[in-house]
């Protein structure tokens, strides 16, 4: 019975993938998928990447329609950078708790308290927050962005864990908001130590959204893209992975002969996982849900995103 169910599921996936390919051609659409998406979503994506790579793709694509398989702020960023494109997200419920931890009123109050500071916002923020920001960043380029800013004082929002990590690579004064990623923040020192005891030959690679005491244990610390690249190029054959489990798809694809253990079974972002193939088909068929950003907010937010993309 189980084998039959798996066969039916595989056949359903094949049919949905064929339909997606047909609809993409009809609509002149591309699918952008974050590394934290389900395997089935990453399989049909035209581009897989982290927030930075996908922002670059959104800004440069010739497609008329962008289907953004990620969370809502990513769809907003795509719409801001490609205002003349139709941007669809398969499920509007795909939010980001970290992004919700900072709001415009709170940020404005902090700016008044520190009038000489420049605001650097992690891309994991709403369009409204980006509109109050001097420059955005991702985990892939956060250190470069911070050091590019013409100010000795930085208001950093919203991730305190990434902010703590970045602060070690700059002499600037960092005023750090108290937000965090629910998923990465779950990982504890105890989890990592238990995995290291179980797999003594494995290297621990970790995302800087994890707690500072966890990040200290990493043999390699970096963004999702950096972790994937490091594991591919490393001579090590076994890794303990300290980031969201969807990353396993690209890790296994790039390094099929290497072994990957996720540092805890709880490294799953439920918001990233709400998307599936049926929802991708439906959004392409119905041309909805569409991402909308009010023009006055988009214009202000676009400047902060474009400044980020210009940092080399």
Question: Annotated binding site for iminosuccinate, which residues?
Answer: 34, 51, 122-124, 139, 207-209, 224
Nearest to 127 by CA among 190, 177, 78, 187: 78
Q: Which string of DSSP letters, residue by residue, matches 12-72? A: HHHHHHHHHHHHHHHHTEEEEEETTS-HHHHHH-SEEE-HHHHHHHHHH---SEEEEES-H
Query: Which residues have a Cβ under 8 Å from the Cβ of 139 and sit 6 or more positions away?
Result: 50, 51, 52, 122, 162, 207, 208, 209, 222, 223, 224
Q: How far is it, in rounded angstroms, from Cα 293 to Cα 305?
A: 14
Residue pair 158/98 in contact by the 8 Å Cβ criterion: yes
CA separation, residue 243 to residues 205, 209, 218, 235 (Å): 8, 8, 12, 20
User: Cα-flanking dihedrals φ and ψ of residue 139, to 5°?
Assistant: -65, -25
Q: How far is it, in rounded angstroms, from Cα 260 to Cα 248?
A: 8
Which amino acids are annotated as binding site, given as ranges?
Answer: 34, 51, 96, 122-124, 139, 181, 207-209, 224, 269
Q: What burial class does residue 207 get, using C-beta atoms within 10 Å of its C-beta: 0-12 exposed, 13-18 middle, 19+ buried?
A: buried
Helix (H) or strand (E) holding 120: strand 118-122
Which amino acids are annotated as binding site for [4Fe-4S] cluster, given as ranges?
Answer: 96, 181, 269
Helix 2-27 to helix 277-286 angle (10° resolution) is: 30
Residue pair 46/66 in contact by the 8 Å Cβ criterion: no
Distance between the two ends of the chain, CA-based, in angstroms?
55
DSSP-assigned beta bridge partners for residue 153: 173
Q: How far is it, in rounded angstroms, from Cα 175 to Cα 115?
A: 12
User: Cα-flanking dihedrals φ and ψ of residue 211, to 5°?
Assistant: -60, 145
């Amino acid at each position: 019975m189980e084998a039959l169910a798996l066969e039916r599921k595989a056949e359903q996936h094949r049919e949905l993938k064929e339909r997606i390919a047909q609809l993409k051609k009809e609509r002149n659409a591309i699918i952008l998928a974050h590394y934290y998406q389900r395997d089935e979503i990453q399989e049909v994506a035209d581009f897989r990447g982290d927030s930075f790579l996908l922002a670059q793709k959104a800004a440069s694509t010739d497609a008329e329609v962008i289907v953004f398989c990620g969370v809502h702020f990513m769809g907003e960023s795509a719409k801001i950078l490609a205002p003349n494109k139709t941007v669809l997200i398969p499920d509007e419920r795909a939010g980001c708790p970290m992004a919700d931890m900072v709001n415009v009123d709170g940020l404005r109050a902090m700016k008044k308290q520190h009038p000489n500071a420049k605001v650097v916002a992690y891309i994991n923020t709403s369009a409204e927050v980006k509109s109050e920001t001097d420059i955005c960043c991702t985990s892939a380029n956060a250190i470069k962005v911070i050091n590019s800013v013409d100010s000795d004082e930085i208001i950093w929002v919203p991730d305190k864990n990434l902010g703590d990590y970045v602060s070690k690579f700059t002499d600037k004064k960092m005023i750090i908001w108290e937000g965090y990623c629910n998923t990465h923040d779950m990982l504890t020192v105890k989890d990592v130590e238990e995995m290291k005891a179980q797999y003594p030959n494995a290297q621990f690679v970790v995302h800087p959204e994890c707690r500072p005491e966890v990040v200290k244990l990493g043999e390699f610390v970096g963004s999702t893209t950096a972790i994937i690249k490091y594991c591919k190029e490393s001579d090590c054959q076994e890794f303990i992975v300290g980031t969201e489990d969807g990353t396993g798809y690209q890790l296994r694809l790039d390094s099929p002969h290497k072994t990957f253990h996720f540092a805890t079974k709880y490294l799953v972002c439920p918001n990233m996982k709400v998307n599936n193939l049926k929802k991708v088909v439906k959004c392409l068929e119905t041309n909805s849900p569409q991402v909308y950003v009010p023009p006055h907010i988009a214009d202000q937010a676009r400047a902060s995103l474009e400044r980020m993309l210009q940092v080399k």
